[in-house]
Amino acid sequence: MKRLAPSLLSADFSRLKEQVDLIENAGAQLLHIDVMDGHFVPNISFGPVVMKSLLGKTKMPFDVHLMIENPDLYIKEFVTENTEFITVHAEACIHLHRTIQLIKSFGIKAGVALNPSTPLCVLDYVFEELDQVLLMSVNPGFGGQKFIPSALAKIEKLREMSESRNPNITIAIDGGITTKNVKAVVERGVTLVVAGSAVFNAANPTLAVKEFLQEML
């Protein structure tokens, strides 16, 4: 089943609950939580306090995307009853295998994100351990950037890799996804679509979610 995870990063933070309600009622299945530390990426977003303010206010599971250095120090802070995935960047983890085990030790599904220039082979020796691979189709740090087309071939390669080695893995794409290009990524094997600006900056976010879901069928 393919799912849509609107990214909270592009929401209006002054009325967070309203924005979350809007996309949940429109049918979005997960909430993508972009955490940035100003070190791994050149931007600072928000941390666990903001994420936890939504507990009890939404039934959507959280898809936590940690764009931070030393994620091992903070993983525990993101473990909540809503947390489905915690995803770390391969580029930020010196001991990636250890970090994956740490996420799983909390009973949370483990994901690894790859920057556009990072090859899939960095996952070769942990691939069977993973619940999600998040392919970045922009350089992480900001919403509203343009989709990098080389991600399309990377999705296909990842899907092939998953067919033989980890058929239930979630293949996620993040960055520059719109209602115009979402079909192309889903056709190539994406099962979790992250979209920020194309949802929250749309004239009508409810309609945008519905259009996404329609295109993803």
140: contact with ligand DX5 by CB under 6 A:
yes
Binds 195: which of Zn ion, ligand DX5, none (CB < 5-8 Å by kind): ligand DX5
∠ Cα 16 19 21 (to 5°): 110
∠ Cα 147 46 20 (to 5°): 75
Amino acid present at 106: F
CB closest to ligand DX5, residue no: 196
172: contact with ligand DX5 by CB under 6 A:
no
CB closest to Zn ion, residue no: 65
Q: How far apart are CA 47 and CA 55, in angstroms?
A: 14
7: contact with ligand DX5 by CB under 6 A:
yes
CB neighbours of residue 95 within 10 Å = 10
Residue 159 C-beta: closest distance to ligand DX5, Å: 21
Torsion angle of C-alpha atoms 16, 144, 24, 81, degrees rounded to 10: -70
Q: Which is nearer to ligand DX5, 191 or 197 (CB)?
A: 197
Residue 111 — φ and ψ, nearest 5°? -125, 155
Candidates 71, 111, 196, 205; binder of ligand DX5 (CB under 6 A) is 196
∠ Cα 172 175 178 (to 5°): 95
- Asked about 37 being catalytic, the answer comes back as no
Sign of torsion, CA 1 30 191 187? positive
- Asked about 131 being catalytic, the answer comes back as no
Pure H helices in 7-138: 16-26, 48-52, 96-105
Candidates 145, 206, 210, 215; binder of ligand DX5 (CB under 6 A) is 145
From residue 81 to residue 120, the character string flagging contacts with ligand DX5 as x (rule: CB under 6 A) and all else as - is ----------------------------------------
- Which range, of 53-61, 168-176, 179-187, 207-215, touches ligand DX5 by CB under 6 A? 168-176
Residues that bind ligand DX5 (CB under 6 A): 7, 9-10, 32, 34, 65, 138, 140-145, 174-177, 194-198
Active site residues: 34, 174
